[in-house]
């Protein structure tokens, strides 16, 4: 009879969540181990961003939506369950025993088409590319008809048109807002974000938003979708971004929010979306983007934590150029080899001991620590989420899709520019994992659109 101390005995006592966590860790560390074993001269090839493959995959996705964006190739992996759960959860209300799977698929697709356009177009823009004139005209024609009475799809349609840019795309946007719709933190963010980028945000629209989001911050520090629910990475980003846009970010408990987000980065080097959940590539942006927002709080009157010996250091350029150039590049790989625990697996992720320090300045010691481990996150995105044939995935073993491609690339951009003083200051080579050709376009973190397109849109709508 096998003893309780044997590996098999320990596995029998493990929960399903622990087994899933160990499986993911084993997959991730096999990838990291294989990478570490190859000659350093060959590592840069493995770390290369497959730009041409990604553009080909994304462009094909637009073409498969049909000339008028009304035809969907059912064989394509376009709509992962994770994006349905976060962006389209209201659709599940309609799913009852009398509904057929095909009807539900049509409902989900109708709501998802603007999102598919946004995910694909934004990914292409991050890679510094653009679509041809025919695809652009088709997209503008379709998206101009998608500014429907539903906040999430309106947000996706508006961001897509802002990403396309130009007079034709921007002038096709009807600047009206959705009334009497869904109520949660996501809805608050999409409404405020759209109103802000279209230059129609006012006090009346923002009334009550701050108090509602405050009621959604949990005891953990993160923000839930609605009061009483669990803190979630997507809703934490949406809540903080909305509060920044209405100039009420300092009303949040920023200390506990930073702690909660920082502790979501685990030994796999990526982020999880909730406590005790698995790593997921999409949270590279949803969680990493939170830090990008925090680093820009001076423009909104950020005052720190208000204690005598600990204050937030809001300077985004946390190292001098000399320090960055002298840093040993091997330090970037230290997260690849965590110590195994007593169970024989790598130490459990997302614990305070394994998480990186937040970007806090301790005035007693004059010491500045990074907000999160940006190079480790780049390692996860490039080595574990990137598909060599184009596109990005949740984690090893999952299929690629446009949702994860969009948010992995967005998170990668956040990492690359995390030490830049401003969006016009190109990152040092030591801030970009792999060859410098991996550098993406910078994003505006409040809206997750490429910075250049955001400024063009703001200039356009400031005239009206």
Report the catalytic residues.
Answer: 232, 274, 277, 280, 282-283, 394, 401, 404
Cα separation of 212 and 398, whole Å?
Answer: 36
Beta strand segments in 201-265, E: none
Classify burial at 327, counting beta carbons within 10 Å of its beta carbon; exposed 0-12, middle 13-18, buried 19 or more.
Answer: middle
Cα separation of 456 and 389, whole Å?
Answer: 33
Cα separation of 155 and 195, whole Å?
Answer: 10
Cβ atoms of 460 and 170 within 8 Å: the answer is yes
Distance of CA 240 to the CA centre of its chain: 13
Q: Indicate the helix (H) or strand (E) that contains 353.
A: none
Q: Please say whether the dihedral angle defined by the alpha carbons of residues 233, 236, 237 and 238, taken in this order, is positive or negative.
A: positive
- Count Cβ atoms below 10 Å from residue 98 Cβ, excluding itself: 6
C-alpha angle 246-271-335 in degrees, rounded to nearest 5: 130
Distance of CA 393 to the CA centre of its chain: 13
What letter would DSSP give residue 437? G
Cβ atoms of 196 and 245 within 8 Å: the answer is yes
Cβ atoms of 221 and 355 within 8 Å: the answer is no
Indicate the SS3 state at residue 366: coil
Cβ atoms of 54 and 123 within 8 Å: the answer is yes
- Count Cβ atoms below 10 Å from residue 246 Cβ, excluding itself: 22
Distance of CA 149 to the CA centre of its chain: 25
Cα dihedral angle (138, 143, 145, 148), rounded to 10 degrees? Answer: 160
Cα separation of 254 and 250, whole Å?
Answer: 7
């Amino acid at each position: 009879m096998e003893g309780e101390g044997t590996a098999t005995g320990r596995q029998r006592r493990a929960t399903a969540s622990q087994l899933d966590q160990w499986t993911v860790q084993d997959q991730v560390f096999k990838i990291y181990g294989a990478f570490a074993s190859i000659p350093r001269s060959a590592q840069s090839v493995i770390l290369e961003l497959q730009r041409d493959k990604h553009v080909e995959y994304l462009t094909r996705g637009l073409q498969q939506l049909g000339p008028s964006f009304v035809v969907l190739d059912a064989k394509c992996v376009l709509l992962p369950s994770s994006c349905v759960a976060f962006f389209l959860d209201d659709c599940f209300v309609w799913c009852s025993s009398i509904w057929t799977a095909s009807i539900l698929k049509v409902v989900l697709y109708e709501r998802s088409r603007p999102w598919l356009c946004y995910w694909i177009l934004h990914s292409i823009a991050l890679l510094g590319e653009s679509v041809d004139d025919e695809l652009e005209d088709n997209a503008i024609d379709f998206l101009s008809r998608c500014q429907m009475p539903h906040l999430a799809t309106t947000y996706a349609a508006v961001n897509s048109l802002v990403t396309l840019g130009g007079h034709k795309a921007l002038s096709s946007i009807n600047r009206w807002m959705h009334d009497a719709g869904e109520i949660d933190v996501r809805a608050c963010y999409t409404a405020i974000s759209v109103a802000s980028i279209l230059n129609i945000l006012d006090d009346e629209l923002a009334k009550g938003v701050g108090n509602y989001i405050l009621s959604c911050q949990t005891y953990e520090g993160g923000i839930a979708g609605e009061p009483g629910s669990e803190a979630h990475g997507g809703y934490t980003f949406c809540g903080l971004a909305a509060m920044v846009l209405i100039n009420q970010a300092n009303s949040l408990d920023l200390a506990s929010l930073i702690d909660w987000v920082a502790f979501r980065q685990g030994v796999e080097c990526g982020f999880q979306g909730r406590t005790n959940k698995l790593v997921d590539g999409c949270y590279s942006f949803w969680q990493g983007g939170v830090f990008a927002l925090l680093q820009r709080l001076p423009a909104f009157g950020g005052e720190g934590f208000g204690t005598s010996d600990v204050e937030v250091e809001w300077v985004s350029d946390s190292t001098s150029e000399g320090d960055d150039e002298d840093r040993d590049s091997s330090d970037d790989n230290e997260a690849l080899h965590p110590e195994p625990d007593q169970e024989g697996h790598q130490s459990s992720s997302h614990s305070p001991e394994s998480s990186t320090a937040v970007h806090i300045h301790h005035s007693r010691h004059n010491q500045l620590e990074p907000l999160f481990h940006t190079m480790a996150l780049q390692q996860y995105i490039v080595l574990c989420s990137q598909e060599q044939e184009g596109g990005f995935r949740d984690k090893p073993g999952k299929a690629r899709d446009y949702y994860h491609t969009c948010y992995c690339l967005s998170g990668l951009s956040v990492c690359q520019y995390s030490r830049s003083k401003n969006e016009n200051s190109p990152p040092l080579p030591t801030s970009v994992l792999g060859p410098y050709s991996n550098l993406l376009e910078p994003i505006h973190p409040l809206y997750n659109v490429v910075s250049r397109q955001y400024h063009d849109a703001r200039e356009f709508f400031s005239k009206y």
